[in-house]
């Protein structure tokens, strides 16, 4: 393949706290011999076990490896290097690629507390925002992905990724990150390492059938929402308090098993880790907001029935009615959204230094959703929460005491 992609390191915004900029010129990596996705900002904080992550070693060894393997990964995932566009004559946004496509890569050195940012403690949401790069977007075009690598001297490093959810879903994001990491570990072993079959992307969208025209329906809904203006800018205001705090909570295998036994004792029910986790989080969250109190079993049954209904009729049947419900939410009803999944395996991304110490979905401090992902030990579920300080303290108390009472 003759195509080449450029990675461009840009100056970091010096107004961001605790961050200093490292700048390198644009690079043109050699092409691979073969090969051919809410916003989705993610932070990967790598384990701080290697003292040789000093600035000199980072610049001479770690950074070149990350950049080279990233360029190789992008040759397989070309859409991520392109632009999301919405030409006037096209009724839905499209992904366009050009020979001079670049991906913005910011490289910074941070003096922030690595252990604090990679911990589960309650802290201000704003403390993590400087680790996420800006995803450039305009009315008619937008970048699909931007990256930032922040070095915490003699502690570790953080890889922040901003992606357009309109371009790829979380499963594809995981596949890309794993591909990048896999290629990073193969450098030096082969000049042009190839991807494993399970990491190779599949781009034939014709296999996805849309007999009722949901794509056009949702695009029209977006236009209506934006006042009939074609706008690809990332929405910043979801009504979430910008002075909120964030924290991570965990449920282990034993916790899930105890919940399943407790719920099933009242009625026979097929429960999954997802159902139990969502039910418990929702009960604690509603109580923290002084809403209607319900038992975990009651909520679990409701969620389980909804999933069973979707399994029975198919994912897309009734999607038009679901969209109408979302557009016409009754006054006084509270929306609680969830992102991620207990099956998301970002924790398995390994660039050759071991698994990440912490993975966070940063976008929930804009959307107000709670986020699920598989824990770093592979046997637990991590729940990312962003709430007001008052609500977070109550939620934490309810979450911890509820587990103690199992």
Active-site positions read: 165, 350
Under 8 Å between Cβ of 347 and 355: yes
Provide the CB-side half-sphere exposure for 185 (13 A, CA).
14
Instruction: From 323, 308, 322, select the one nearest 221 (Cα to Cα).
Output: 323
Burial class (CB in 10 A: 0-12, 13-18, 19+), 223: middle
Q: In angstroms, what CA-CA distances link 264 with 270, 274, 297, 399?
A: 8, 15, 8, 20
Residue 107 CB: number of other CB atoms within 10 A? Answer: 23
Q: In angstroms, what CA-CA distances link 85 with 67, 144, 232?
A: 26, 10, 8
List CB contacts of 367: < 8 A, sequence separation 6 or more: 38, 238, 240, 337, 339
Output the six-digit token pair for 380: 């637990």
Instruction: From 341, 343, 354, select the one nearest 384 (Cα to Cα).
Output: 341
Instruction: Find residue 386's DSSP bridge partners.
Output: 246
Output the six-digit token pair for 105: 């890569």
Residue 330 CB: number of other CB atoms within 10 A? Answer: 6
Interatomic CA distance for residues 223 and 377, integer angstroms: 43
């Amino acid at each position: 393949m003759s195509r080449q992609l450029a990675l461009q390191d840009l100056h970091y915004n010096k107004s961001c706290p605790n961050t200093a900029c490292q700048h390198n010129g644009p690079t043109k990596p050699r092409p691979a011999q073969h090969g051919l996705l809410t916003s989705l900002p993610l932070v990967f904080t790598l384990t701080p076990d290697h003292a040789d992550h000093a600035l000199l070693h980072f610049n001479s060894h770690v950074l070149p490896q990350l950049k080279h393997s990233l360029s190789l990964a992008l040759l397989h995932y070309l859409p991520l290097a392109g632009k999301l566009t919405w030409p006037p004559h096209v009724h839905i946004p499209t992904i366009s690629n050009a020979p001079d496509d670049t991906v913005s890569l910011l490289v910074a050195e941070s003096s922030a507390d690595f252990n604090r940012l990679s911990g589960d403690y309650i802290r201000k949401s704003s403390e993590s925002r400087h680790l996420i790069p800006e995803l450039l977007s305009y009315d008619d075009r937008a970048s699909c992905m931007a990256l930032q690598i922040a070095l915490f001297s003699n502690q570790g490093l953080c890889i922040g990724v901003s992606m357009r959810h309109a371009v790829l879903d979380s499963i594809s994001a995981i596949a890309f990150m794993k591909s990048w990491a896999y290629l990073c570990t193969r450098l030096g072993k082969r000049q042009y390492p190839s991807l494993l079959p399970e990491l190779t992307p599949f781009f034939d969208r014709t296999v996805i059938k849309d007999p009722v025209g949901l794509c056009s329906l949702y695009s029209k809904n977006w236009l209506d929402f934006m006042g009939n203006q074609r706008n690809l800018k990332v929405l910043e205001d979801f009504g979430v308090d910008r002075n909120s705090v964030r924290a991570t909570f965990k449920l282990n295998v034993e916790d899930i098993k105890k919940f399943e036994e407790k719920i099933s004792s009242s009625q026979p029910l097929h429960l999954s880790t997802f159902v139990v986790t969502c039910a418990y989080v929702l009960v604690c969250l509603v109580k923290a907001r002084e809403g209607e109190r319900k038992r975990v079993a009651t909520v679990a049954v409701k969620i389980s029935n909804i999933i069973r209904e979707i399994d029975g009729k198919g994912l897309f049947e009734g999607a038009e009615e679901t969209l109408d419900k979302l557009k016409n939410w009754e006054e006084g009803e509270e929306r609680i959204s969830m992102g991620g999944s207990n099956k998301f395996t970002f924790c398995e991304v390994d660039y050759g230094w071991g698994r990440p110490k912490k993975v966070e979905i940063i976008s929930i401090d804009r959307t107000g959703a709670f986020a699920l992902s598989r824990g770093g030990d592979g046997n637990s579920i991590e729940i990312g929460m962003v709430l007001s300080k008052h609500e977070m303290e109550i939620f934490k108390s309810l979450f911890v005491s509820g587990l103690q009472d199992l």
